[in-house]
Structures are given as structure tokens and as C-alpha cells.
Amino acid sequence: MTTLVERSPVTGELVGTFPTAGADEIASAVERAREVFHASWGRTTPADRIVHLRRLKRLLIDEMDDIAAAICRATGKVYLEALAADVMTCVDVCH
């Protein structure tokens, strides 16, 4: 297995290293995700989904500064762009 090295496009700072996957591993992961979806989320009632989405929204809001900072390191975006375009968009989707 190879490793992907991610560096900040602005500073060249190491953001992280990540294992890569081949086509078979990806297909297996997608199939497993489908199975889990149908066994759990796919059977969740709309009322329960709302509870989970509200919890996700709260977590995104609580961690928005750290999430935006990570996006900045990985993409080179300025903080306000990462916060408004990425983090708050996700928060809004969970509304």
C-alpha cells in the first residue's frame, strides 16, 4: 500500500499522510458502506434522523474553528472562506 503525503499549498507544511487504496479495496469499502446504510440509516425513522442531524449540526458548530483551520492548512483557503463556504454550508445542510 502506498501513502499519500499532503502538504499545505501555501507553506509547504506537512498536513498529514494517508494510506491509499486500490480499486478492489475501494469497491469493498463502498459495498460495506451500502450494507451498513441499509441495515441502519436506511431503517431510521425521519424523526430519529432529525435528532442525528441536529447533533451533527451542534458538533459542527462547536468545532467550526478547528474544522476551518484544518481546511485552510489543506487547501490554502483563507479562514473566512473556509468557514463560510465549507463549514457553514455543512451546518446549513443539517438544518
Q: Who's near 44: CB < 8 A, 6+ residues apart?
A: 52
With 0-12 / 13-18 / 19 or more C-beta atoms within 10 angstroms meaning exposed / middle / buried, residue 87 is buried
CB 4 within 8 A of CB 70: no
DSSP state of 43: G
Q: pLDDT tens across 4-45, in order? A: 999 999 889 999 999 999 999 999 999 999 999 999 988 999
To the nearest whole percent, how much of the chain has pLDDT over 70? 99
Angle at 86 between CA 84 and CA 91, to 5 degrees: 80
CB 64 within 8 A of CB 85: no
pTM of the model: 0.77
